[in-house]
Amino acid sequence: MPILPLITVSSTDEEGVSYREMLSSLVDKVQTSTNSLASTVSQASSEEMSPYLRQIGSSVRRLSMPLGKVRQSSQRRLSQMVSAIGEVIDQEILMTQPGEKSTPLFGSSLLNREWELVTVSEMCRRLSLDQELELPIPDGANTSQILDELMIRQVMDILPPRAEGYPWVNIYNSEKHGFSLATMYRKMAEFDEDLSPVLLIIRDTKEHVFGAVVSSAIRPSDHFFGTGDSCLLWRFTGEVPHTRELRQYNWTGDNQYFVNAAKDCLSIGAGSGRYGLWFDADLNHGRSQKCETFDNEPLCGDNEDFIIQFVEAYGFRM
């Protein structure tokens, strides 16, 4: 993420104050656009991006789109607009400091580069490394009472890029805190990392291990929430102790029914009356069906219904 340098303008007259306010406004716009650019990856058409580009107009505003919905060409167009604002600032500096030797602030800056969040595996692929880097298991991950080391490493690979490598924080544990959805919500409310995704891990009475990744702490809401870049379902095939292969089910783009945290139940993924993952207020009975949000298989094997044996929820200390 590029960090804009601090700009200081020394002036005591009204013209200097006006210039400083204008410069501050332009820098704020550049910073906002750069932050937005850092959260884009390649998969949408220019036609999908055009409504947002029209909305930008002559100034740059923050884009709000799910990751995976912007293609490289659209990134370049936005990057060019950000660089154009940087050039305007350079011109203003040169014009207001005649006769002084001034170095363009943005002409060779990081704003001329294109940014995106990528996983460690993708980074290794792009650098053509012969062997992928093996990250150490993050602090706190070994506290899981469901996942062993091999399973943890596989789960690490499906976490959103912004959570990779950060310590795992156990927010909720059914053995420690009791089987209650209300208690889970209360523990989530106490978690203070607003930017952290949350990892749900479930083991049923038939030893199936599965769960979900959601984009933020799960708190009661009257409507669905979440984003497609960091919401997914997953399951390990097989049964303990032979539970080894992890399968993940990412957002299809068909709807935005990510997380519905009602007081009497929790559902993740939905469509046509079917839920990707659902369980009741007592964290006792659950159901997993193929849903439009993730196009997933039932997470608990051949049967759609399951009885929960153990639940864990982890956040990430960012």
Please give the Cα distance from 11 to 229 (Å, whole number): 46
Least confident span in 18-22, 241-245, 273-277: 18-22
Confidence at residue 37, expressed as pLDDT on a 0 to 100 scale: 47
Confidence at residue 116, expressed as pLDDT on a 0 to 100 scale: 64
Please give the Cα distance from 117 to 141 (Å, whole number): 23
Q: Any idea what DSSP says for residue 195?
A: T
pLDDT tens-digit map of 221-250: 999 999 999 999 999 997 666 668 999 999
Any alpha helices (H) in the chain, and if so which ranges?
14-37, 46-56, 72-96, 120-126, 149-156, 174-177, 181-190
Q: Is 193 exposed, middle or buried (0-12, 13-18, 19+ CB in 10 A)?
A: middle
pTM over 0.85: no
Between helix 46-56 and helix 72-96 the angle, nearest 10°, is 30
pLDDT tens-digit map of 75-92: 555 555 556 666 666 666
Q: Three-class SS of residue 261?
A: strand
Q: Which residues contact 134 (CB under 8 A, 6 or more apart)?
A: none
Which residue has tokens 């937005």?
A: 36
Q: Is residue 211 within 8 Å of residue 300, measured between CB atoms?
A: no
Confidence at residue 153, expressed as pLDDT on a 0 to 100 scale: 94
Confidence at residue 163, expressed as pLDDT on a 0 to 100 scale: 93
Q: Is residue 291 within 8 Å of residue 260, measured between CB atoms?
A: no
> Residues 45-75, buried b or exposed e (16+ Cβ, 10 A)?
eeeebeebeeeeeeebeebebbbbbbbeebb
> Percent of the chain at pLDDT above 90?
53
